[in-house]
Amino acid sequence: MPIFALAPMEDVTDAAFREIFGLYGKPDVMFTEFVNIDGLLHPEGFKRLKIALIKTENQKPVVAQIWGRDPQKFYEVSKTIKGLGFDGIDINMGCPQDKEIKLKTCAALIREPELAQIIINSAKEGSGGLPVSVKTRIGFSGNELAQWLPALLKAQPAVVSIHARSKKDKSKVPADWTAIEEAVRIRDNLSSKTLILGNGDIKNRAEALQRVKDTGCDGVMIARGAFGNPWIFRKDNYQPSAEQKLWVMLEHARLFDQLLGRYKPFMGMRKNFRAYASGFEGCSELRAKLLQVKNLEETEKIITEFLRDINFKQGTVV
């Protein structure tokens, strides 16, 4: 069976987000938000960044994604990740944002394949036997897999997850899944044991399975398609009702408050509300209200009132 992974997303795949997937549609593996190695090695930075590394047993296996540039720091942080009880370490070599590129990190490492190899090896040395993987893109300015992927495979990471766009593309063009097929071909020609996961524009499990069939990759990583849809990884193609979506959205909000309320402003839930509150009658009005909430109490009031109105319209008194 192909591997299904919940992709690492900055300020998205926090402990509450992963927990709701653990409850309603657990993938084979989940990834944390990406965390900077320089910050993790600084006492004050660690206090701030450890929030992204909060996890529960229900989320396992869960992989910590880290980013940076200094191989020695990758070694040290990998020891820390091992000590925190994670199931793997993933190195971000794919984020295309200008801030990270200016620091010559993330997708900028595509232009420095020798340094990328050293970083992978340093992380493996510090990992205490944990699998070390890489999340990257097909290239910096275009498709550069012919040069970039063999360099990565030489360092023998456990997995290379490939977003089927270049750094230049960001998310402005459709994902090029023919590049994932090419990546599999390159891996096979080199007789590498590294697994290849494809990523980009997958909206449901059926589409994911078709991508695996078409490209020969070992699995898929789903990012934006998972927003508001913790059922996306389920094998039974489960389609929740509007009421079920809203109750799970409320549970997600409660988990956010419980696990992260001491650390992060509740308004961070709004992007999730936007995703959950879609595809049913009255969702636009509900979404507009939810995008104004400031705390869990306001959220509970709005959702329960909306559900009560639905039930009244259907002839059921709540």
Q: Half-sphere exposure of 208 toward its Cβ, with a 13 Å CA cutoff?
A: 27
Which one, of 305, 251, 306, 298, lies nearest residue 281 by Cα?
306
User: What does the alpha-carbon distance between residue 152 and residue 115 come to, in Å, rounded to a whole number?
Assistant: 10
Q: How are beta strands 219-222 and 88-93 bridged, if at all? A: unpaired
C-alpha pair distances (Å), 19 with each of 13, 164, 239, 261 = 9, 27, 19, 15
Tell me how far apart the alpha carbons of residues 299 and 318 are, in angstroms, rounded to a whole number: 18
Among the listed residues 95, 106, 217, 283, the single catalytic one is 95
- In order of 3, 6, 85, 293, the CA distances from 94 in angstroms are 20, 16, 25, 33
* Gap between the Cα atoms of 130 and 15, Å rounded: 21
CA proximity to 35, closest of 115, 131, 100, 122: 100
Give the chain's end-to-end CA distance (angstroms, integer).
Answer: 44
Is there a catalytic annotation at residue 217? no
253: its two tokens: 């909000």
Tell me how far apart the alpha carbons of residues 74 and 31 are, in angstroms, rounded to a whole number: 17
- Positions annotated as catalytic residues are 95
